[in-house]
Amino acid sequence: MTLLPQEFIARKRDNLPLAQADIARFISGLVDGSVSPAQAAAFAMAVYFNDMSLDERVALTLAMRDSGTVLDWSDLPGPVADKHSTGGVGDNVSLMLAPILAACGVFVPMISGRGLGHTGGTLDKFDSIPGYTTNPDNTLFRKAVRAAGCAIIGQTDDLAPADRTLYAIRDVTATVENISLITASILSKKLAAGLGALVLDVKTGSGAFMPTLEKSTALAESLVSVANGAGLKTGALITDMNEPLASAAGNALEMRNAVEFLDGTHQDPRLREVTLALCAAVLEITGMAGADAAREKVERALDSGAAAERFGIMVGELGGPADFVENFANYLTPAPLVRDIRAPADGVVTAIDTRGVGMGVVALGGGRTRPTDTIDHAVGYDRIVGIGETVSRGQPLGRVHCRSEADFVEAERRFLAAYSFGEAAQAHPLIAGRILPGGHA
């Protein structure tokens, strides 16, 4: 029996199980117009209150994947993998992870997003590079992946279009914060990208969408279970976002931070650990290496300069300057005003409202308050002092990169409001959990 859309919605409203075929028909109707936005909104609200079983989550994810094109990389001479982060501040891991994995023999066709709320977007960072195209046609995308081993671009219109439609409806109907819907949204795009393996970086803490470890763990377990249930080998790390991961937050500033990380000029210790741990997890998931060998391999790919070389090839293939890695300072447009933020008192940095720091970047113009907003790539913070560091009154806590004196005053106010000082800081584990295919590790 074929269910009408209203009958399908009623089953979820009444907390009755949904069949895979009915889920597929409903999502197909969302794309072809036979399911109305009002019906999709009612379905999302029913899921919000009654949630979905594992089988239903897998079915929804696969239906959204199959709503558009599914890429095929079977012609590549090596494993195909990617990474997804649930979003944070100073989280530029993708910029280093893709070329590190490429230097290890993994192909990384990374389809990324733009900034959302207080979190930075990978594509916005790449838009700071003159000439770099984040929306290449399929021919150029494939050429770049073959040449560099990696390519970081944006979602095309024909990849998981049902997700784009349903997300827009969820965004205006207060149904975003549901693990089942979040899981299907994230994974449908990754499955449509034709991956063989995926590692997830699920953030927890004051700068994460899931601020508690309990909620972050629940999301990570859902993502790993559904992805593997849908046939994609997937693992996850739960990582700390109680402070910015890099010492920079802002698009061009995080790009500079990433290039200096790749060429060895400067590597933030927490950022290095998370990046290499995620890279090593990919090698384990793909079966390329065991835990110890995987870590040694990714460290060698980074420290030898091989990853920096791959990054440079990728930038050149996608329209950016061929010498970007060597001469990035000539291409990244600086902000006209750069000024220190100074500590108001002596003490230890005990806590950082990381979301507050991220919103400081947004207020400067480095993020969006509306989808149509234009990004100012030059603005943001750098030289950010982390939790546990002892500071003296008047010592710099960070720097603001901005357009005007008024912008500096507001950015300084937001930054200082995010900092707490005391005698001792509570330690947060950098990697709070690790889930590989088959369960906890």
Q: Which of 114, 133, 100 is nearest to 320 (CA)?
A: 133
Looking up residue 365, the CATH number of its domain turns out to be 3.90.1170.30
| Residue 280: inside a domain | yes
Record the tokens describing residue 267, joined without a space: 């590597």
Inter-residue contact 307 to 262 (CB < 8 Å): yes
3-state percent helix, strand, coil for the chain, nearest multiple of 5: 45, 15, 40
The segments of the chain whose pLDDT lies below 70 read 115-117, 119-120, 370-371, 438-441
| Residue 232: inside a domain | yes
- Asked about 143 being catalytic, the answer comes back as no
The HSE-up count of residue 77 (CA atoms within 13 Å, CB side) is: 2
Which is catalytic among the residues 25, 65, 125, 189? 189
Which is catalytic among the residues 12, 57, 83, 399? 83
User: Roughly how many angstroms between the first and final C-alpha of the chain, as a whole number?
Assistant: 43
| Residue 73: inside a domain | no
Q: Residue 272, Cβ neighbours under 10 Å: how many?
A: 14
- Asked about 170 being catalytic, the answer comes back as yes
Instruction: Say how far apart CA 424 and CA 399 lie, in whole Å.
Output: 24
Asked if residue 309 and residue 176 are part of one domain, the reply reads: yes
- Asked about 94 being catalytic, the answer comes back as no
Which is catalytic among the residues 22, 65, 67, 85? 85
Q: Which helix H or strand E contains 171, and what residues bound it? A: helix 161-171
Asked if residue 343 and residue 305 are part of one domain, the reply reads: no
- Asked about 146 being catalytic, the answer comes back as no
Q: Residue 309, Cβ neighbours under 10 Å: how many?
A: 17
Could you list the residue range(s) of the whole structural domain that residue 31 is in? 5-50
Asked if residue 245 and residue 154 are part of one domain, the reply reads: yes
Which is catalytic among the residues 25, 164, 170, 297? 170
Residue that the structure tokens 């849908």 belong to = 230
Asked if residue 290 and residue 399 are part of one domain, the reply reads: no
- Residue 248 DSSP label: -
CA distances from 231 to 192, 227, 236 (A): 12, 6, 16
| Residue 300: inside a domain | yes
Asked if residue 387 and residue 316 are part of one domain, the reply reads: no
Which is catalytic among the residues 94, 133, 183, 185? 185
Record the tokens describing residue 92, joined without a space: 């530029």
- Asked about 55 being catalytic, the answer comes back as no
One-letter amino acid at 307 equals A
CA distances from 372 to 114, 120, 155, 418 (A): 12, 16, 17, 28
Which is catalytic among the residues 122, 180, 216, 239? 122
Asked if residue 250 and residue 142 are part of one domain, the reply reads: yes
Asked if residue 150 and residue 259 are part of one domain, the reply reads: yes
Asked if residue 179 and residue 271 are part of one domain, the reply reads: yes
Q: What is the pLDDT of residue 112?
A: 85
| Residue 60: inside a domain | no
Asked if residue 351 and residue 402 are part of one domain, the reply reads: yes
Record the tokens describing residue 158, joined without a space: 């024909």
Residue that the structure tokens 């447009």 belong to = 333
Inter-residue contact 139 to 318 (CB < 8 Å): no
Q: What is the pLDDT of residue 335?
A: 98
| Residue 218: inside a domain | yes
- Asked about 190 being catalytic, the answer comes back as yes
Which is catalytic among the residues 66, 82, 376, 382? 82
Provide φ and ψ at 401, rounded to 5°.
-110, 115
Inter-residue contact 267 to 259 (CB < 8 Å): no
- Asked about 82 being catalytic, the answer comes back as yes
Tell me how many domains the chain contains.
3
| Residue 67: inside a domain | no
pLDDT digits 0-9 by tens, 361-416: 999 999 877 667 789 999 999 999 999 999 999 999 999 999 999 999 999 999 99
- Asked about 84 being catalytic, the answer comes back as yes
Which is catalytic among the residues 118, 190, 297, 401? 190
| Residue 59: inside a domain | no
Record the tokens describing residue 226, joined without a space: 């559904």
- In the beta sheet, which residues pair with residue 119? 116
Instruction: Say how far apart CA 323 and CA 355 lie, in whole Å.
Output: 35
Inter-residue contact 188 to 160 (CB < 8 Å): yes
- Asked about 118 being catalytic, the answer comes back as no
Q: What is the pLDDT of residue 115?
A: 63
| Beta pairing, strands 431-436 & 439-440 | antiparallel
CA distances from 392 to 194, 352, 381, 431 (A): 52, 17, 20, 30
What is the dihedral sign for C-alpha 101, 105, 106, 111? positive
pLDDT digits 0-9 by tens, 88-141: 899 999 999 999 999 999 999 998 877 666 766 889 999 999 999 999 999 999
Inter-residue contact 209 to 176 (CB < 8 Å): no
SS3 294: helix
Looking up residue 89, the CATH number of its domain turns out to be 3.40.1030.10
Inter-residue contact 222 to 179 (CB < 8 Å): yes
Asked if residue 189 and residue 123 are part of one domain, the reply reads: yes
Asked if residue 37 and residue 85 are part of one domain, the reply reads: no
Asked if residue 237 and residue 180 are part of one domain, the reply reads: yes
